[in-house]
A and B are shown apart, each in its own frame.
Chain A
Amino acid sequence: MTIAQSAPAPLDVDAIRQEFPILHQDVRGKPLVYLDNAATTQKPLAVIDRLTEYYTTINANVHRGVHTLSQKATDAFESAREAVRSYLNAADDREVIFVRGTSEAINLVAHGYGRSRLEPGDEIIISAMEHHSNIVPWQMVCEETGAKLRVIPMTDSGELLLEEYARLLTPRTRLVSVVYVSNSLGTVNPVREITAMAHQAGALVMLDGAQAVQHLPVDVQELGCDFFAFSGHKLYGPTGIGVLWGRQEALEEMAPYQGGGEMIRTVTFEKTTYNDLPHRFEAGTPDIAGVVALEAALEWVSAVGLDRIAAHEADLVEYATTSLSFNRRVQLIGEAKERSSVVSFVMEAAHPHDIGTILDSEGIAVRTGHHCTQPVMDRLGIAATARASFAVYNTRDEVDALVSGVNKVAEVLG
């Protein structure tokens, strides 16, 4: 569990909930209890209003026109880039590349770095608890280049085996890509150590921060990684926008990913020269409104305070794990010492899909399935789990609703 060091002032969750219009509705006749935040979080008015404001006042294409609106749109767009830089404490805003989300960020590195640099016999290391989006792009690039994929194994409780990782690191290792916080188990991985070990072996490091940025303060310079990816929609921002951060030298070594407008300097039919960072990796008209609203999300999270959010969520996780463990049919999945806001579980004689439907009938939204981490399920010998994942606006009352919903599962299925 990640608990902030000095106890921050508690959150006024009621006031926060007022900022999320979607939470105030009934689902199947019961007040909505939204516990699928690891899939995507809900959006505060600050974000929704920024989207509206953008479209109602400054919409224009960026980096292209001399007219006033285009200038305003470009300023707003670049201001968001600076906001992301500051949020990640990156050294330079040219290191911030806007993409659609974590998946696209990983694909960008897999293609941009992998295709131009990998050779047969080279190795990429990922871990046993990766999301499919940090597995498949590497498999694709390995297939194309003849490089090999290696996997850091994990324990039954969901912790990576660092001694095994040390053995996997060799002079052939080119890149290590691991998840910072696991979406199916909640494990917070020791990414500083993982990064330092990779660098000692001369390999680059990519971190999948999709489940990290909304729960923990991230400082990419302090982490020491070379690439970091996250999705706006899991951080109270809009869907369709995400970030790849890369250390400047690492980005400069990569081949362009997609070709098109924005990413070029000059084009003739004989030859094209590419634009500088970050535009080289941003072909085409970007999701300008999404980028602008992402800045609103970052501002909102920073104003609430990540330390307070983390303390609140840690309390909910603790409360949920304790409350659920009174139900003898419930078995928690993922019991790493360092955990973030995910509680995954299975139940005796109840398939997660049935759990999900029964909870839904109580207005409770949880995720059921393999959570895009099939290898985790295979490793643990289960088909699927039910997963409750928490955000800043969740309450202990909602945990109580979850627990009584779970108790009802046995009643319904008999």
Chain B
Amino acid sequence: MDLRELYQDVILDHNRNPQNFGKPDASNRQADGHNPLCGDKITVYLTVEGDRVVDLHFDGVGCAISTASASLMTESLKGRSIGQIEELFEVFHQLVMGNADVMFDGPDLGKLVAFQGVSEYPMRVKCATLCWHTLNAAIESKQDTVTTE
């Protein structure tokens, strides 16, 4: 398997220039995530109005996969309902676990499809999903640190 299938251009771009990066001036929910295996740390900040997530930001340190995943996640989810987000996470999770066929009957992943290559690297799945787990915790506003272990 070519490394390029893991490190696709979208992923590299978002790693170099992460979107929605940094603590926003305003937000009403947040959670911390931690992957003790590699030391990745992330905080996800949300502005939730009703059942819609109208704004998402993140900060922290992580590898290219986890940084790009958080960047693309925040970009893709802005304005979506919590129900839609849950659905997308499910599909995204299946994608990185290598169950690509589910993509066809789930919601459209858009640019998130770039993470398909992660499924060939089981050790890196957690890098791609840490931000999503943290997002879930933020939605539920569990204030405890989330870990991927």
Contact = CB atoms under 8 A, between A and B. Distances in A.
Contacts, number: 53
A384 interface: yes
Nearest to A382: B39
Contact of A383 (B16, B40, B121, B123): B40
A361 B3 contact: yes
Nearest to B9: A414
A284 to B, nearest CB: 30
Interface stretch (A294-302, A307-315, A347-355): A347-355
A382 B36 CA distance: 13
A303 interface: no
Interface in A248-301: none
Contact of B39 (A354, A370, A412): A370
A353 B12 contact: no
| Chain A interface residue number, banded | 20 to 34
Nearest to B38: A353
B15 A412 contact: no
Interface string A369-387: 1100010010000111000
A383 B41 contact: yes
Question: Most A CB atoms within 10 A — which of B41, B64, B123?
Answer: B64
B82 interface: no
Nearest to A369: B38
A368 B15 contact: no
Given A383-B41, A413-B15, A353 B3 contact: no
Interface in B2-44: 3, 6-7, 12, 15-16, 36-41
Interface string B61-74: 11111000000000
13 contacts: A351-B40, A353-B63, A353-B65, A354-B64, A354-B65, A357-B3, A357-B6, A357-B121, A358-B3, A369-B39, A383-B38, A383-B40, A384-B39
**Considering the complex of A and B, which 5 residue pairs feature the smallest CB-CB distances, nearest first?**
A383-B39, A351-B63, A353-B63, A384-B39, A361-B3
Given A353-B124, A370-B38, A413-B12, 13 more contacts: A351-B40, A351-B64, A353-B40, A353-B63, A357-B123, A369-B37, A370-B36, A370-B39, A374-B39, A382-B39, A383-B38, A384-B38, A413-B64
Interface of B: 1, 3, 6-7, 12, 15-16, 36-41, 61-65, 121, 123-124, 127
